[in-house]
Amino acid sequence: MTFLQKAVENPATIDLSVSKKIGPWGLLSAGSNDEVKEGLGVLIELTKALSKLKENGDIAASVEEQGSVEQK
């Protein structure tokens, strides 16, 4: 399954009726959860990729370029 397929299908599995409001301390507390840490890691990588789009207008080339740099 590709990243985009997962990104589209995953939200459909979430039961938003059990979500709770949290404040700053709840956010800090949630940061100790491994799933939250992984999700934030993905969010940071997506944010980095989006900044490349702003820089040169070609996100696919930027992502490929970054992947080749990281593989070295």
Cα distance between residue 19 and residue 57, in whole Å: 37
CA distances to 4, 13, 53, 62 from 22, rounded to whole Å, are 28, 21, 32, 36
Q: Does 69 have pLDDT greater than 90? A: no
Give 16-68 pLDDT, tens digit per residue.
899 889 999 998 999 999 999 999 999 999 888 888 877 766 656 656 666 66
Termini Cα distance of the chain? 26
Asked if 52 and 59 count as a contact pair (C-beta separation under 8 A), the reply is: yes
Break the chain into its structural domains and give their ranges: 34-72
Q: Can you read off the two tokens belonging to residue 12?
A: 């459909």
